[in-house]
Chain A
Amino acid sequence: MTVAAAGVQTVVDGSREPLLEFHDVTVAYGRRPVVWHVDLAIDAPCLFGIIGPNGAGKSTLLKAALGLVPVVGGRVRFFGAPLDRVRPRVGYVPQRETVDWDFPVSVMDVVLMGTYARLGWFRRPGSKERRLAAESLDRVGLADLVGRQIGRLSGGQQQRVFLARALAQQADVYLLDEPMAGVDVRSQEEIFRVLGELRRDGRLVVVVHHDLRTAAEWFDRAALIDMRLVASGPTAEVLTPDNLRRTYAGQLEILDEVGRAVAERGRTS
């Protein structure tokens, strides 16, 4: 039984389609495969971790789902439909380093960008959008920074601005690319608190994550990826020493550390 499915009202109205489904997805840069025949279906709202070593293709998998990189083969479905038909229901948090934080926009400006897709061409955000953006900022604890230029924020605050922008998208499925990279522990907890709220509201939250120690604690379900899908399911069943060895072959010091962490968790639960 999964933690998430119990007692949570799902956003999927009666249909039995998975919220997110990768079907035999392969992505390549030139002749080099980066993601190899990944089959993965997420049926119920939960906090889902995509976990694996550097260069394992985790981010690429997210980008393929969003149509940001072309797939060589396979397909991705949201709510059983191609992305183009359901885009407003899919929110995205890119990696923080992908933008220029010296850009002349304020915190409010960035969060408002989350409302643009619903506004459509040429319409400017109005008071309704501003209210939504302010609420989103409030949820991530940045209500008092609305007018600040985004370069004058700490790394964790910048990451939370990106999260607030995704909240303003009012999506049903959220894809986050390494939201914990370069963020201090307290901001990480703050971010996970918000992600937990989203799950409680029946949203699916998929997080690309590289820190194995926190992964066991934070995610209901997880997939271990190293170009191929190594394992997926409830986190405790996925992060087994055997699976980890297959994913992190050659990175033994990590394995030992995580082995201990997982073993400890096993004893306490």
Chain B
Amino acid sequence: MSGVGLAHNTLVVAAGVAAVGFAAGVVGSLCVLRKRALVGDAAAHATLVGVAVAFLATGRRDLPTLLLGGLASACVGLGALVLIRRWTRTRDDAATAIVIGVGFGLGIALISGIPAWGYPDSAGLETFLLGHTAALTARDAVVLAAVAAAALAVVVAAFKESVLVAFDAAFAAASGWPVTAIDCLIVVLVATMVVVGLPAVGAVLVTALVVIPPVAARFWTDRASTMLALAGAIGLVSALVGVAVSASRPGLATGPLVVLAAAAWFVVSFLAAPGRGWIARRREAAAAGRSWDEGLVIDACLRLTGGGASAHADAEATGAFTEEGAIAAAAGDRADGRAAAARAWSAVVVAGLVEPAAAGRWRLSTAGRATAAARRQRVEAWLRLFAEDPDAARGLATVDLTGASGLSSAIRS
């Protein structure tokens, strides 16, 4: 019977923390898009003071009370951040570091002092440092989930306004939007998510839920709305993984596990995401390089053939060239030009664009002539476009001038 109750409690807590993870990813995306990623960190470290003070004032470990205290001190910390910036002309990063340091120092001083000051119910306050979901009750989890849902609702309502300010605050202000108020809204939302993330992830690491999922999500999409949803999903899964693993083994704090799960998402994203991912960009760069080299070889062959226009007489003699000649003509002055041209030559041979002629010489095949001519046409068309409308030419997302287009992929497949 108690086993069922326990399982039920675990499930409710997991669901609550998952909701927090989702909302933290969504809210954090706005913060990251506004280029204020460290705001969450400052808020997080400032929460400890409020948690401790709320406990000292009430003497009870009632989660909503402690979190309200945390939210209050997070807001005080963020207010201090703004004031330090404005009054002392301290730069953003230094001001953030001051708030993080002071908030954390004061918080730790209070939390480590409280047991010694004779509060019987104080055990477990230190779980707010690194997070420990096992201590949560189903009722706590419902509170967390409700706050997360409310924060999500606000983001959905004010999505248009937040993205506008994040993208172009000057334009937003000029067209009459209260930029400061919208910025405050974003910051308070982030502080709220940090606070409800505390019990699960802890003050030290809760920024991981606010910053890492948005950054990971950005790799997969060029749309803000998709980024928010994806960051939410990544936050949710990271939170669940952290809860599940820490519940499976005694002595594992949830926070570090959540961070590690989120970090894994980040690594996978920046490596494997199509388009923006590292692997995709490296492959594209390599493919572009090969494509250029092959185009240069084809063009060199065409030049050695005599421009393809030599209608007179015997192509066997006039249209033939040596491998060495073609490679040298294509290589140019590039340091690795010869090696690249030699590789490209092999690709051109395999693709059947050149064929053996007499006496160990080569000539362009029918397909090769067509490819070379098509390449010249494309180059000329692009140069014409560049002369007429340089902007359009520069703005083309993919320009295939290299002529041997599809050659490399054909060979690979």
Contacts and interface: CB of A to CB of B under 8 A. Distances in A.
A99 B168 contact: yes
The 7 closest A-B pairs by CB, nearest first: A154-B394, A156-B391, A154-B395, A149-B222, A92-B174, A117-B175, A87-B176
Contacts of A149: 222
B59 interface: no
Contact of B223 (A87, A105, A110): A105
7 contacts: A87-B175, A99-B167, A104-B227, A105-B224, A109-B223, A117-B176, A117-B177
A187 interface: yes
Interface in A114-142: 114, 116-117, 119, 121-125
B395 A152 contact: yes
Contact of A110 (B167, B390, B392, B394): B167
B149 interface: no
How big is chain A's contact interface, by range? 35 or more
B218 A121 contact: no
Contacts of B173: 66-68
Give the secondary structure class of A's interface: mixed
Nearest to B222: A149
Interface in B200-230: 218, 221-224, 226-227
Contact of B160 (A116, A148, A165): A116
Interface of A: 63, 66-68, 84, 87-88, 90, 92, 94, 98-100, 103-106, 109-110, 113-114, 116-117, 119, 121-125, 145, 148-149, 152-157, 165, 169, 183-184, 186-187
B397 interface: yes
Given A117-B177, A148-B397, A184 B390 contact: yes
Contacts of A99: 167-168
Given A100-B35, A117-B175, A105 B167 contact: yes
B319 to A, nearest CB: 41
B157 interface: yes
Which of B171, B173, B176 lies at the interface centre, i.e. has the most chain A CB atoms within 10 A of its CB? B171
A153 B166 CA distance: 20
B165 to A, nearest CB: 10
How big is chain B's contact interface, by range? 20 to 34
Contacts of B177: 116-117
Interface of B: 33, 35, 157-158, 160-161, 163-164, 166-168, 170-171, 173-177, 218, 221-224, 226-227, 388-392, 394-395, 397
Contact of B161 (A100, A104, A121, A169): A121
Contacts of B390: 154, 156, 184, 186-187
B86 to A, nearest CB: 14
Contact of B174 (A67, A105, A152, A154): A67
A63 B171 CA distance: 10
A169 B175 contact: yes
A157 to B, nearest CB: 5
Given A94-B171, A116-B164, 4 more contacts: A68-B174, A87-B175, A103-B167, A104-B221
Contacts of A98: 168, 170
A122 B218 CA distance: 24
A113 B391 contact: no
A109 B224 contact: yes
Contact of A106 (B160, B171, B222, B394): B222
A65 to B, nearest CB: 9
Contacts of B157: 122
A126 to B, nearest CB: 12
Contacts of B174: 66-68, 90, 92, 94
B391 A187 contact: yes
A203 B406 CA distance: 51
Which of B158, B218, B223, B395 lies at the interface centre, i.e. has the most chain A CB atoms within 10 A of its CB? B395
B175 A104 contact: no
B99 to A, nearest CB: 25
Contacts of A63: 170
A68 to B, nearest CB: 6
B370 to A, nearest CB: 29
A71 to B, nearest CB: 15
A85 to B, nearest CB: 11
Contacts of A156: 390-391, 394-395
A255 to B, nearest CB: 30
Nearest to B223: A104
A113 B167 contact: yes
Contacts of A122: 157-158, 160-161
Contact of A68 (B33, B170, B218, B394): B170
Nearest to A113: B164
A100 B224 CA distance: 13
A186 B221 CA distance: 32
A88 B175 CA distance: 7
A116 B395 contact: no
A147 B158 CA distance: 23
Given A152-B397, A156-B391, A187-B391, A116 B170 contact: no
Which of B160, B170, B175 lies at the interface centre, i.e. has the most chain A CB atoms within 10 A of its CB? B175
B167 A92 contact: no
A154 B221 CA distance: 20
A106 B223 contact: yes
Contact of B389 (A92, A104, A186): A186
A106 B225 CA distance: 11
A186 B171 contact: no
Contacts of A153: 395
Nearest to B166: A103
B160 A124 contact: yes
Contact of B395 (A103, A117, A121, A157): A157
A186 B223 contact: no
Contacts of B175: 87, 92, 114, 116-117, 169
Contacts of A184: 390-391
Contacts of B171: 92, 94, 113, 165
A88 B174 CA distance: 10
B161 A186 contact: no
B367 to A, nearest CB: 33
